[in-house]
Amino acid sequence: MTIRSSLSILTVATLLGSAIGAQMKMVARPFNATAYTELMDCVRNASRRYHIAVEHGTIPIIPPEGEIVDLESDTDSALGDCLDRFSPYLQMAVEHGRGCVNAGAPAQTQDYATAEWAASNGARGMTVHNGTYVSARDV
């Protein structure tokens, strides 16, 4: 299955559903600051400027106001690569705009969304058991 712009969020629950179908187990883990820092480096190299939030431990990545995310497009394919690379280590989501994230959730521009900021706002990590990787593009 491919993520399309019609989806409002790529959630851990979706990844978990794929993992269960493949008899894998995705487990919440402590926040991985190194993986988060590398994720932010990857996101900064993408073709547009995203906002980052922390909502209930998950790290939503939000496009500029009024725009949507389509991981199949040239604009967002680099973001898709970032999600594929770091989804085994961090609880992440892609949102279609700031309005999709709880108004009380802390948010920051990608330039200021440091690992310390994410950790202090409750970001969580995760791992995939059985050594199997689930691509964000496959959910």
Task: List the Cα angle 23/71/101 in 5-degree steps.
Answer: 85
Instruction: Identify the pLDDT of residue 114.
Output: 96
Q: What is the pLDDT of residues 70-116, one digit of tens each?
A: 888 888 999 999 998 998 889 888 876 555 666 667 888 999 999 99
Q: Which of 98, 97, 54, 45 is nearest to 76 (CA)?
A: 45
Ramachandran quadrant class, 94 (left: phi over 0; alpha: psi -120 to 50; beta: rest)? beta
Q: What is the pLDDT of residues 121-134, one digit of tens each?
A: 999 998 765 554 44
Q: How many helical (H) and strand (E) elements, i.e. helices and strands, does the chain have?
A: 4, 6
Q: What is the pLDDT of residues 39-80, one digit of tens each?
A: 999 999 988 899 999 988 999 898 888 788 888 888 899 999
* Spans of all domains in the chain: 12-131
Two tokens at 84? 């594929």
Q: What is the pLDDT of residues 7-45, one digit of tens each?
A: 333 444 444 444 444 555 667 788 999 999 999 999 999
